Amino acid sequence: MPVFPTPPLTPERLAGLRETAVGDPALRLATNAVTATEVDKVTLNHAAVTALNPTTEAKLDTLGVTDQKQSGRCWMFAGLNVFRHRIAEKLNVADFEFSEAYLQFYDKLEKSNHVLRSLDALFRDGVTDPDDRTVQALLAAPAHDGGQWNYLVNLISRYGVVPKYAMPETYGSGRTPQLDKRLSTVLRRAAVALRTAAASGQDTTPLLDAALTDAHRVIATHLGLPPTEFVWQYRDKDGDFHRAGTRTPQEFAAEVLTDELTGGLDNYVSVVNDPREENPYGRAYAVRYETNVWDTPDFSYVNAGTAELKRLAKASIDAGDPVWFACDVNRQFASSLGVWDAHLYERDALYGTDTATTKAEQMRTRESMLTHGMVLTGYDDESAATTTWRVENSWGTKSHGEHTDLGAAGAMKGYGTMADSWFDDNVFQVVVHRKYLSDDRGELPGLADLDRGEITVLPIWDAMA
């Protein structure tokens, strides 16, 4: 294969670049604008903003938005938000929110146990190189905030849920960098000891127990200890007071997250749009180590085109079920306006560049990946060719303060509107009840593979992780 050397940045080359720039009036105009204000203010496509009507015909949300603050718990907030509107309606209350801090406590503890046991198993299986790619991936963020739908199901199944007042937010629950940093230090130090012990054939059980005890102390310091029971009482919208008595978190989960309301948490399926040709549509996949509880299945899904994801989302919303989804949230997104559109910012026009790439190419180069979980609570088919989507975020009202829904004033701030074009480019995953995976065309390809366990396993560093 011939080798083509890269042209060096010689004085002549630099002079040529400067001469080209000096003679470019478009660059001069762009420089004048950007040196005086933000790029996004200069490139915002106001026509795209005004074209997005925030009032959708289908709308399932009824409550004010939640706020994950400076934490990466979007997947947890979004998962709980899928159900809280119906619970509030059932209880006839003006507002309802689960305690995210309660599940956060056990998520951190279970993740600590999971990463320690995963590393211990690798070391005892003879993976001794500390620079092994899997080992490094596990150690890169051992106490991370992120997660998937299966993480939420794992936690609720084991620990139940409690209302917000039973374990309210703390400073550390909403601002997790210090918690994550200290917990990571504890886990990485334990990994060193586990590797040494495994290499000499020692029993690593005492080390695992000691590290988990340390992890528990760190988590409790930032979040407090979770309740083992609480008094369940509330006042409904008619002013009537309800005192239901003492509940354990498991009892409360069985009471409010009933199979009648949820359809059974184990019956939800992830359907993903991964257009990379090496991962064909109509098959089932999983990402290794993508779980938070040791010895539970990894995040698994069926791969399909975006048209299939949209069909499933609409079918679910039409039946009254909001849809958990994952996306690359900050691409072509105006935070204060609460709008997402593939053509929202005209940055190539400003810079005089052409950065157009396919979704598959963006995944391969890490230009785009799953970064955030939210909820689809409505949609509007303005014509046969386009759809707008109503989005429930968990960033409070500070980020979407200018977003309004005609006829639903202040309480509805914090929601957003997504263009169909943005869905195509940046939505990677929807989670729906399996009953929606069949229509008059038959069962969604890949579901049978998922049920039979015929799953292609992708490595921990894959773009779908």
What distance in Å separates the CA atoms of residue 304 and residue 283, rounded to the nearest whole number? 8
Cα separation, 327 vs 376, in Å, equals: 12
User: In this model, does residue 411 exceed pLDDT 60?
Assistant: no
Could you give the CA distance from residue 138 to residue 114 in angstroms, rounded to a whole number? 10
Place 405 in a pLDDT band, splitting at 50, 70 and 90.
Answer: low
Report how far residue 252's alpha carbon sits from residue 246's, in angstroms, rounded to the nearest whole number. Answer: 9
Cβ-Cβ contacts under 8 Å for 92 (sequence gap 6 or more): 236, 237, 238
Across the range 283-309, mean pLDDT stands at 98
Query: What would the mean pLDDT of 287-306 be, rounded to a whole number?
Result: 98
Please check the confidence at residue 19 and state whether its pLDDT lies above 80.
yes
Average pLDDT along the chain: 94
| Confidence (pLDDT) at 392 | 96
Delineate the domains of the chain, giving CATH numbers in brackets.
48-458 (3.90.70.10)
Which pLDDT value is given to residue 404? 62
At 444-457, the pLDDT tens digits run 999 999 999 999 99
Q: Which strand (E) or helix (H) includes residue 412? A: none
Confidence of residue 384 (pLDDT cuts 50, 70, 90): low
Tokens of 238: 């008619």
For residues 310-320, average pLDDT: 97
Farthest CA pair distance, the chain? 82
Considering the entire predicted model, what is its pTM?
A: 0.95
Reported as a single tens digit per residue, the pLDDT across 55-85 is 899 999 999 999 999 999 999 999 999 999 9
- Percentage above 70 pLDDT, the chain: 97
Query: Which of 393, 400, 403, 426 does the annotation list as catalytic?
Result: 393
Per-residue confidence band for 145, with pLDDT thresholds at 50, 70 and 90: very high
Is 273 part of the annotated catalytic residue set? no
Instruction: Examine the residue annotation and report whether 74 is marked as an active-site residue of this protein.
Output: yes
Distance of CA 100 to the CA centre of its chain: 15
Catalytic residue among 85, 114, 222, 372: 372
What is the rounded distance in angstroms from the CA atom of residue 4 to the CA atom of residue 422? 38
Q: What digits encode the pLDDT tens for the residues 268-284?
A: 999 999 999 999 999 99
Assess contact for 129 and 220: CB atoms under 8 A: no
Model confidence at 122: pLDDT above 80 = yes
Is the model's pLDDT at 295 over the cut of 90? yes
Work out the average pLDDT over 190-219: 97
Looking at 74, 85, 154, 433, which residue is catalytic? 74
Per the model's pLDDT, the better-predicted residue between 405 and 140 turns out to be 140
Confidence of residue 440 (pLDDT cuts 50, 70, 90): confident
Among 22, 24, 216, smallest CA distance to 105 is for: 216
The pLDDT of 41-48, averaged and rounded, is: 95
Instruction: Please list, residue by residue across 357-374, b when 16 or more beta carbons sit within 10 angstroms of its beta carbon and e when fewer do.
Output: eebbebbeeeebbbbbbb
Confidence at residue 360, expressed as pLDDT on a 0 to 100 scale: 97
Active site residue 393: yes
Length of the chain: 465
- Please state, in angstroms and rounded to a whole number, the distance separating the CA atoms of residues 301 and 446: 8
Distance of alpha carbon 78 from alpha carbon 375, whole angstroms: 6
Among 6-20, 248-262, 385-399, the range with the most confident prediction by mean pLDDT is: 248-262
- Please, which pLDDT band fits residue 407 given cuts at 50, 70 and 90? very low
